Structure 1
Amino acid sequence: MSYDPNQGNNPGYNPPPQGENPGGYPPPQSPYTGYGTPPPSQEGYPGGYPPPPQQGGYPGYPPPSQESYPGGYPPPQQGGYSPYGPGGYNEPPAQPLPLGDAIRQLPAQYLRVTTKPGANTFAMEKGKAAWNIVWVQLVFLAIVTGLLTAISTVIALPNALNSFNNSNLPASTAEQMRTIFATLPVPIGIGSVILTIVGFFIGTGILFLIAKAFGGQGTFLQYVYSYLLFEVPLGILSSLLALIPILGSLAALALGIYRIILQVYMTMAVHRLSGGRATMAVLLLPIIGIILACIFVIILVAAVSRSIPSH
């Protein structure tokens, strides 16, 4: 019996057959190319780890690129009007400004909103909403409207006073009426200031609730802030046009129609409503008013016709 150097002190050692695996060690196992061959080089992956199962990264990581949305913000959940995508608008995060900066930016905002109408324009502005700048705009609008109303009263006053001079009233009565009418501009102007502020909150509150009933998602602060962005410049312009006889009234009517269009866009942006829903939310009150007015005219005509004696 020959001496085998691999046997050592183990009498039961049985060496493998010659030629199959010299050295007696089991062959290395490789899932790639078979026995004894190292796995292929993975130079593109640190540490030689195999490539991920999907191109672009492991499932769920890294997150997909949001390059199509400004700021990387994902679109809102489905269920309602989405401001993103084709035909929609891009909405930045809410970021109210300090009062001084907000006041300085108002002229540029008024110009953008009135000259570039659209839901996207209002969506870019509504995030700056804050109560301090709302009150600044509303008080300014009320004061200017009150002054213009008082001026229009002063302009119309001479005609009213002349009517008393040409009337058959006693001289003392006519003088009293002239004195009363001469003091009207001040209380009318103050009343206009109060009525502008109170009427604004009542009117916008009703419109806000109607928009909510149509599925609106905005806040009342965003609504009144966005409303003032076109109401302040166009409201003042409308009051100025009212000082011009006849032609001013026609121009104010056209301006009123344009204000309705801007209100529809504003409602779309603030409440994330479609164009049809926003239009219905804005026009519901005027439609109801027209229907009630027609009913009143029909009743009035019927009452007058019955009062006329037939021959």
Structure 2
Amino acid sequence: MNRAILLDKRPVGKPTLEDFKFIEEENPAPAEGQVLLKTLFVSVDPYLRGRMSSAKSYIPPFQLNEPIQSGIIAEVTESRNPDFKVGDFVSALLDWKEFQVSDGKDLVKVDGDAASLSSYLGILGMTGLTAYLGLTEIGKPKAGETLVVSGAAGAVGSVVGQIGKILGCKVIGIAGSDEKTRILTSKFGFDAAINYKTSPDLKTDIKNVAPDGVDIYFDNVGGVISDAVLANINQFARVPVCGAISLYNDTEIALGPRLQPILVRNSVLMQGFIMFNYATKFPQAIKQLTTWLNEGKLTYTETIVNGFDQIPQAFIDLFEGKNEGKMIVKI
């Protein structure tokens, strides 16, 4: 039998295991023009929380009693499609199922010899594209500028910081543990890192490590961390807003400083984005990321969880900050 994971209930606040349902179904068989896919690696990402709500967003919500979807690396185990052969590895947005069929239209072949298969869900996939395009298209970094990254030890944040260093910026990361801040400076080359959970005054701590102010703020978390960074923002600064994980599980609208005076006073550009805004630039971005990776200028960290039945818990653990870098489930 084939296993699948459905959205059973729409979460209220932080998701729980009770919001998911495991089912068994008959093993699928490919029809003419289709392939049979075996799931190998599953990406769990904070943005999936938004799709579990019925609220209108940039992408349709998941439907109750239907499989959840995310980025997946799969192997072709049976093919009735001339474009794919048995043994091909592919990447796509697919259902949380152990096996499934596809007509091949949205499948992208990946080379397991050129890079690890899991990296195509991370630094050479959505993670890397989000980091590169958000920073370069909105942040527009210049050598000598100061870049602050929140959620810096996460999948996107750690790549943003490294790209900032490649492009000549001073890079400061904000993360949630001493171990994560140590990794930011020792492994990813950040100039400084702050543990927001132990900081007695985050606004002051940011000022101490960025005495000349902040020119670019890559925002992954929102909330009080962003309030502290924006209090140190420079004139003509740029703020790419990638996410707001600190707010995703709130059941009421959070109150905070009114940003308009800060933005007007300093002529700040603050822009939200999703990577698909820049779809035409994906090939160039992947080429650049691959070059930097092969040159040893980029590195990455993955948190690998084993087992199909661990997918919901791995997703929930994102909101506890239990991942370092990209959170991936290996099936």
Q: Structure 1 length as normaliser, TM-score?
A: 0.20
Q: Structure 2 length as normaliser, TM-score?
A: 0.19
User: Which has the higher Rg, Structure 1 or Structure 2?
Assistant: 1
Indicate the structure with greater strand content: 2
